[in-house]
């Protein structure tokens, strides 16, 4: 458990003297301060300094609570400090966490269908709307999303509507070609054709009643209805329901199942 330590205010904290000539003890930065934690790998995590102990520092961002090992920290900067207090040279990217349920609008680059698709067939799509988080463009238009058909069932006879499910597992950023694992899926079910099936049964039955009535009065009408109904049922039993077909260019909205961390270069920050 990370214990909170009472502290005073400071502008910049350097760990091990990396990246800057001046340094202040980390413990002089007050809990609750908004800070940029700069890691040794060049990553910058912005959030509220929540707690710390001898081994780790905890930072609450807008979408996650992150625990960073002290030996990974190059510097800590208080946000809103002196104007001439830039990020150290070691900082190269801002790490942002897109939360679960973030919406991605994509355009399919692969045509998929319930009557021709197979499980594990690859599916590709491109992002049509940029994803903005914390005022920063995290995912740019044109980023590529990769996935597969995860389940598929063609339309059945009378019973069994067509279904199709797509599972996406990675996204490649258009600007950097960096690939990030992700989990998002979308399911489709063909509309019910029950009303159409009933019509197919009813119309031949009515026609049979009319024909039977002309041939043999009331008895003939009853027989004709039964025969007509049977013919109608035969038509339905031999006719499949609607299939699901998604051509290239279909727009689909996905929701992230889990949060993902994305690196945004410092030179792209507002």
- pLDDT confidence band for 234 (50 / 70 / 90): very low
- Which of 105, 102, 150, 140 has the alpha carbon at shortest distance from 125? 105
Selection from 122-131, 229-238, 260-269 with the highest mean pLDDT: 122-131
CATH number of 103-189+242-268: 2.40.128.260
Distance CA(116)–CA(125), nearest Å, equals: 19
pLDDT of residue 194: 56
- 51-to-36, 48, 54, 55, 191 alpha-carbon distances in Å: 14, 9, 11, 11, 53
Average of per-residue pLDDT values in the chain: 79
The tens digit of pLDDT for each residue in 96-118 reads 999 999 999 999 999 999 999 99
pLDDT of residue 222: 45
Distance CA(268)–CA(98), nearest Å, equals: 17
- pLDDT confidence band for 241 (50 / 70 / 90): confident
pLDDT of residue 115: 93
Q: Where are the beta strands (DSSP E) in 70-225?
A: 73-78, 93-98, 103-108, 112-113, 122-127, 131-133, 136-139, 144-153, 163-172, 179-189
At a CB cut-off of 8 Å and minimum separation 6, what does 102 contact?
131, 133, 255, 256
pLDDT of residue 196: 55
Distance CA(32)–CA(59), nearest Å, equals: 9
pTM over 0.75: no
Is 209's pLDDT higher than 50? no
At a CB cut-off of 8 Å and minimum separation 6, what does 230 contact?
none
The tens digit of pLDDT for each residue in 28-58 reads 888 999 999 999 999 999 999 999 998 999 9
pLDDT of residue 1: 44
Distance CA(145)–CA(125), nearest Å, equals: 5
Distance CA(220)–CA(212), nearest Å, equals: 4
Percent of the chain with pLDDT over 70: 70
103 three-state secondary structure: strand
- pLDDT confidence band for 82 (50 / 70 / 90): low
Q: Which CATH class is domain 12-91?
A: mainly beta
């Amino acid at each position: 458990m990370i214990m909170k330590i009472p502290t005073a205010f400071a502008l910049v904290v350097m760990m091990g003297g990396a990246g800057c000539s001046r340094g202040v003890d980390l413990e002089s930065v007050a809990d609750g301060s908004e800070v940029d934690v700069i890691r040794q790998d060049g990553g910058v995590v912005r959030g509220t300094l929540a707690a710390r102990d001898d081994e780790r520092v905890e930072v609450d961002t807008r979408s996650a609570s992150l625990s960073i090992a002290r030996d990974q920290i190059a510097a800590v900067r208080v946000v809103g400090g002196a104007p001439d207090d830039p990020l150290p040279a070691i900082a190269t990217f801002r790490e942002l966490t897109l939360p679960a349920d973030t919406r991605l609008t994509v355009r399919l680059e692969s045509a998929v269908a319930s009557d021709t698709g197979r499980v594990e067939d690859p599916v590709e799509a491109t992002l049509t709307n940029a994803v903005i988080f914390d005022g920063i463009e995290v995912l740019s238009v044109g980023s590529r999303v990769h996935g597969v058909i995860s389940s598929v069932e063609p339309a059945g006879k009378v019973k069994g509507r067509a279904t199709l499910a797509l599972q996406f597992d990675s996204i490649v950023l258009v600007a950097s070609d960096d690939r990030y694992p992700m989990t998002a899926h979308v399911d489709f079910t063909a509309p019910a054709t029950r009303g159409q099936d009933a019509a197919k049964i009813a119309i031949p039955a009515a026609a049979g009643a009319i024909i039977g009535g002309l041939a043999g009065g009331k008895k003939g009408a009853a027989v004709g209805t039964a025969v007509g109904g049977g013919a109608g049922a035969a038509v339905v039993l031999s006719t499949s329901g609607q299939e699901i077909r998604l051509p290239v260019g279909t727009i689909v909205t996905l929701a992230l199942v889990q949060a993902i961390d994305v690196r945004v270069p410092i030179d792209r920050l507002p």
